[in-house]
Amino acid sequence: MTVLLEGLTVIGPAGTMVEPVSAEIAPGATLALIGESGSGKTLTAKSIVGLLPRGFRATGSVTVAGQALPVERPGDDAAWRRARGRSVSLLLQDPFTSLTPVHRCGDQIAWTVEAAQGHRLPRGARRAAVEERLAEVNLPARVADAFPHELSGGMRQRVAIAAALASDPQLLIADEPTTALDASNQAEILDLLRRIQLERRLSVILISHDLGVVRGRTDQVLVMRGGQVVERGATAAVLAAPEHPYTRALIEADPVVAARSGARIAAEEAAPSEVEPLLVCEGVTKAFGVRTVLDQVDLAVAPGAIVGIVGESGSGKSTLARCIAGLEREDAGSIVLAGSALAPGRGSRTPDQMQIVFQDPYSSLNPMMSIGAILSEALGVAGRASSEVPGLLEMVGLPAEFARKRPAELSGGQRQRVAIARALAPEPRLLICDESVSALDVSVQADILALLARLREEIGIAILFISHDLAVVRMIADSVTVMWDGRVVESGPCHEVLEQPAHEYTRLLVAAATRENAVPVEGKD
């Protein structure tokens, strides 16, 4: 029943993408593949189910319970039909796109059952099979009649798990199965997977960029970088005593590790209470149609302070940031910056008041403009000359020749640095970072956080740091405000809120961030 990978190699149009990978996974055991984007972990997964993109091929062998998978023949549908589903299934990252939107959830599960059995089922048996699979993932039978859009993200991922396992495979590959979910859903899905795995004696390959997901839930780990396995071993041992410098860097950069050790990137500064705050929001309220997204929100940011706002998607944290920036108009409440009240909307605001750094580094720079043109324009707004572009680049840690490049030539982290430079050009009083590091790899995240901390030290800019990731906020913010369902549920100095959370919701977030509720694997961790 063991799963064996031997010399599995992925070759792309530009040469070898993944160097030979070998591993053995016992029934009921989990192998973790960790690495950042571009490390080859997803290609490895796709090669095992024969779904490599056009132009890619694989060599080597994969054996599941004594049966070899046709990994060297990616286009051979006939050969793969017997293997896919019954031997191996793949669970994808995003439950919002992995289910077809126009078919009912029950049908999508039933297809797998029918494909595995090789024939269509009569109505009654089909219904019964679907309900049994839904029960396994703790979903009620009525979900069978729902369309995916009628379910929450967490429920969709459960449906996807049920569909992936409905063919009773021996190996499940889960490719970042919780990355697209909110923190409170993540743990539930991981624990559900773990429980089903133990019940079924299922071998699992868990792919993740997130060490926290891997910790306590996997037995073996392969650390991949640039298509190569740089370190391997028992998960607990590797995480406790990494040998390869890259693994060590990954672990150090991991916010969870930092959160556990209490390490910080920025020195924590207590806001001097006698200083007048730079930004004061009082009773800010905003509704989209009938839905209230901000309900009487109060917030204060002292000059030179880093204030974190934490909450899950839909908590209203981004809307608050956008109201402060004037990109949304609040319905009620006041926003006062440096003593003067700001009217809703951009009309009354000037670039030197506040700037935003957005989440997605790939769409926050105009692809048709050079970096130099982007920065000159931002400098020009404040009446500064284009000759200051090199200085600005240097400030964010980029060489001056980047001015000639276009955004497409830059990595995600470099683009985010340019976005920060653009935001700094008009010399704003307040910098708003709206999930500015969420789309970046962990090691890059740490660099950007360090840059922000340094900027605060050097130019004394105040930063409003918005994130869904408590662990990241903990590393940089002086004080933190927790938002839930459009309201502020808790706020105070960072260490107080995170160490003695008063609100139940904050406790849930803190637990999710430090993965304290993870099911330990046979006491190894």
Instruction: Give, in order, the Cα–Cα distances in Å from 271 to each of 275, 338, 392, 491.
Output: 8, 16, 28, 13
Q: How far is the CB of 393 from another protein (least distance, A)?
A: 17
Identity of the amino acid at 138: N
Q: How far is the CB of 8 from another protein (least distance, A)?
A: 17
Which residues neighbour 432 within 8 Å (Cβ) at sequence distance 6 or greater? 321, 324, 325, 354, 355, 356, 357, 463, 464, 466
Report DSSP state, residue 311. -
Nearer to another protein, 73 or 503 (CB): 73
Nearer to another protein, 384 or 474 (CB): 384
Nearer to another protein, 100 or 138 (CB): 100
Nearer to another protein, 246 or 358 (CB): 358
Nearer to another protein, 266 or 375 (CB): 375
Nearer to another protein, 167 or 514 (CB): 167
Nearer to another protein, 72 or 176 (CB): 176
**Tokens describing residue 149:** 């859009």
Q: How far is the CB of 495 from another protein (least distance, A)?
A: 32
Q: How far is the CB of 395 from another protein (least distance, A)?
A: 18
Nearer to another protein, 200 or 487 (CB): 200
**Tokens describing residue 279:** 């930004």
Which residues neighbour 447 within 8 Å (Cβ) at sequence distance 6 or greater? 397, 413
SS3 of 223-272 = EEECCEEEEEEEHHHHHHCCCCHHHHHHHHHCHHHHHHHCCCCCCCCCCC
What three-state secondary structure class fits 132? helix
Q: How far is the CB of 121 from another protein (least distance, A)?
A: 14
Q: Are 462 and 301 in contact (CB under 8 A)?
A: yes
Nearer to another protein, 287 or 327 (CB): 327
Nearer to another protein, 146 or 508 (CB): 146
Q: How far is the CB of 115 from another protein (least distance, A)?
A: 5
H/E run at residue 4: strand 3-12
Secondary structure of the chain: what % helix, strand, coil (to 5)? 40, 25, 35
Q: How far is the CB of 374 from another protein (least distance, A)?
A: 9
Report strand pairing: 15-25 vs 30-34: unpaired
Which residues neighbour 272 within 8 Å (Cβ) at sequence distance 6 or greater? 302
Q: How far is the CB of 96 from another protein (least distance, A)?
A: 9
Q: How far is the CB of 49 from another protein (least distance, A)?
A: 5
Q: What is the DSSP string of 271-292?
A: PPTTSPPSEEEEEEEEEETTEE
Give the span between the Cα atoms of 364 and 361, in whole angstroms. 5
Helices (H), 431-503: 442-459, 470-476, 494-499
Q: How far is the CB of 520 from another protein (least distance, A)?
A: 30
**Tokens describing residue 476:** 């940089």
Residues that bind another protein (CB under 8 A): 37, 49, 51, 77, 81, 83-86, 88-92, 94, 97-103, 111-112, 115-116, 147, 149-150, 160, 163-164, 166-167, 325, 327, 346, 349-351, 354-356, 358-360, 362-369, 377-378, 381, 406-408, 419, 422-423, 426, 439
Q: Is 38 left (phi over 0), alpha (psi -120 to 50) or beta?
A: left
